[in-house]
Structure 1
Amino acid sequence: MRAIIGTDPEEAARRLSAGQLVALPTETVYGLGGNALNATAVGNIFSAKNRPSFDPLILHQSTPDRVLAYADSVPDEAQQLAGACWPGPLTLVLPRAAAIPDLVTSGLDTVALRVPAHPLIREVLDRVDFPVAAPSANPFGYVSPVTAAHVADQLGDRIDYILDGGPCRVGLESTIVAFPRGEPTVLRKGGTAVEDIESVLGRAVAVRTVSSSRPAAPGMLVSHYSPGIALRVVDRAGERGTPDHAVVRFGGGTETRGPHDYDLSARGDLDEAARNLFTVLRQLATGGYGSATVELVPEHGLGRAINDRLRRASK
């Protein structure tokens, strides 16, 4: 049975309350949502994605107060970030409350929490009395979806309902910040730039974004975001694309490209490149290519998160 695609947040909330899985739009990517306090629903998320049980999930709610209720304690700097960056593409990893099932946290004593900014998922979250666990709505390890059609293509026969909120505005997953030993540490680069986090806190933060075993947060595995073909990442691509080998550039201007040449942003805009990243990776996956060369983008702001995804897609 194929998932129903609709635009009704009340229907999405009803299905979540009944223990069903619902794909939900966020400003980052589409998430595969389920009742985080319902162990069966959470298990179904892992099954639908073929996600390993050692990779924890992010919990979502509509306000900081509602989502932070599922943390056992909240450091002052976490409160600062929540006040400055929520709703938005930031996830905080905090000591977990007892109500959270072990499967959600992969047995860790911390839980990942977020308040998303997309108006439709916020309407859904306002209608339910539980946090919603929602990893990206794609098979584990593959390209994250930024439209409802992407979700339907990859998971349409495994879930119940897809809430269509249009294309995602940011296009990169949330940045994840934890506080080991009280020190703010970025565990995943994403839609909130590291520089913005440092500006809020008034100091430098540590960055530790890769884990090869038992990750402390989602999105930390070395190999991830794969389009299913061999990728080579370079500073600057000199060749043209061919029917067997695509080329992806950044800031290529308006010069004529061939049918196998792609550009994350012809005008060199990092926000646009972030929005286009997963769409371009999906085009590489479906274009019949055996391989591709992809240019890295400038290593600042959202560029740090884009390059992180490109490097891991090439593993």
Structure 2
Amino acid sequence: MSTVYDCSVPRDRADGLQAAASAVRAGQLVVIPTDTVYGIGSDAFSLSAVNSLLAAKERGPDMPVGVLVGSWSTIDGLVLSVPLQARKLIEAFWPGDLSIVLRHAPSLSWDLGHTKGTVMVRMPLHPVALELLRETGPMAVSSANRSGMPPAATVDQAREQLGDAVRVYLDGGPSGDPVPSTIVDLTGDDPLVLREGAVRLEAVAEALGVEVGRAG
């Protein structure tokens, strides 16, 4: 049975954040508001929880899950190294709607899908998401929708698609235009925009001071 908490009400917000943190630690799923669209999240280091997330979305490991973090410094413990280009993007766009793909630290015991040794990391610009992430640590998070369906811009849209597969829903109000984050891959010789979303390619190139290619 799932529970919805209205984060516009201070007491409900506090109770909801506590319930969501407990659910994540127990390997259950939560839905959270972010600065792009609503996300469905779990403990990034729990294989069973990530598998439950993929099952709730009705998609397989061929579409791996990204990771949200609650601070700049968290990324240092997740990746093999943080190159200068990543630092520039973090300083320019975090917290915000830009995701960075890097080689993950080989010592980490996680399975986010068929990532080929990489991880996509983002720090969202949303107070509810950040407060939860600072309590739980890194979370595996994907858009709160079933595969092939529109991403949820409200908690009601998320509940319609995901139902009781999710233990806790945190209602942060409408997310606005459901524009996804921009994804920049820094695992190759040159930066590559895999998906142009809320942050324009030109802004990425300006922050890096180099020409940036686009996938496809």
TM-score by length of 1: 0.63
Shift of 1:170: 5.1
Judged with a 3 Å threshold, the aligned counterparts in structure 2 of structure 1 residues 124 and 72 are, in CA distance, closer, same or farther, namely same
| Alpha-carbon distance change, 31 to 207 in structure 1, aligned in 2, over 3 angstroms | same
1:18 and 1:36 map into 2 onto residues whose CA distance is: 12
Corresponding residue to 1:137 among 133, 144, 167: 144
1:196 aligns with 203
2:31 corresponds to which letter in structure 1?
A
Deviations for 1:59-83, whole angstroms, at most 9, x for unmatched residues? Answer: 0111111134201112211110011
State the alpha-carbon separation in 2 of the partners of residues 169 and 69 from structure 1: 32
Shift of 1:179: 1.8
Alignment-derived partner of residue 163 in structure 2: 156
TM-score (normalised: structure 2)? 0.91
SS at match of 1:176: strand
Structure-2 separation of matches of 1:37 and 1:118: 23
Q: CA deviation at 1:43?
A: 0.6
Give, in whole Å, the separation in 2 of the partners of 1:173 and 1:35.
22
Letter in 1 for 2:46: N
Deviations 1:32-87 (A, max 9, x none): 10000011101100111111211111101111111342011122111100111000
Structure 2 runs not aligned, ≥5 long: 8-15
Provide, for residues 125-147 of structure 1, a one-character-per-residue CA deviation record: whole Å limited to 9, x for no partner: 1111x310010011012100011
Number of residues of Structure 1 aligned to a counterpart in Structure 2: 207
Once the two structures are TM-superposed, the CA of residue 102 in structure 1 deviates from its matched residue by 5.4
Q: Is the 8 A contact 1:36 1:132 kept in 2?
A: yes
Residue 169 of structure 1: CA displacement? 4.2
**2:103·2:187 contact (CA, 8 Å) conserved in 1?**
no
Matched, 1:37 2:41: no
Shift of 1:165: 0.8
Q: Does 1:82 align with 2:81?
A: no
The superposition leaves residues 239-295 of structure 1 with CA deviations (integer Å, 9 ceiling, x where unpaired) of xxxxxxxxxxxxxxxxxxxxxxxxxxxxxxxxxxxxxxxxxxxxxxxxxxxxxxxxx
3-state SS, counterpart of residue 5 of structure 1 = strand
Aligned AA (2:212): V
- Contact 1:36-1:101 within 8 A present in 2 as well: no
Structure 1 residue ranges (4+ consecutive) displaced by more than 6 angstroms after TM superposition: none
Q: How does 1:1-315 map to 2 (within 5 A)?
A: 1=1, 3-6=2-5, 7=7, 8-101=16-109, 103-128=111-136, 130-169=137-176, 171-208=178-215
Q: Which amino acid aligns with 2:37?
A: V
**1:187 & 1:93 partners in 2: Cα distance?**
9
Specify the SS of the correspondent of 2:183: strand
SS at match of 2:49: helix
Larger Rg: 1
Deviation at 1:99? 4.4
Residues 101 and 76 of structure 1: is their aligned pair in 2 closer, same or farther, counting only changes over 3 Å?
same
Q: Give CA deviations for 1:205-242 in whole Å, capped at 9, x if unaligned.
A: 00005xxxxxxxxxxxxxxxxxxxxxxxxxxxxxxxxx
Higher relative contact order (CA 8 A, sep 6+): 2
- More divergent stretch after superposition (77-86 vs 97-106): 97-106
Q: Cα offset for 1:182?
A: 2.7
Tell me which amino acid in the other structure corresponds to 1:86: W
Q: Give the whole-Å Cα distance in 1 for the aligned partners of 2:162 and 2:130.
A: 22
Q: Which amino acid aligns with 2:38?
A: Y
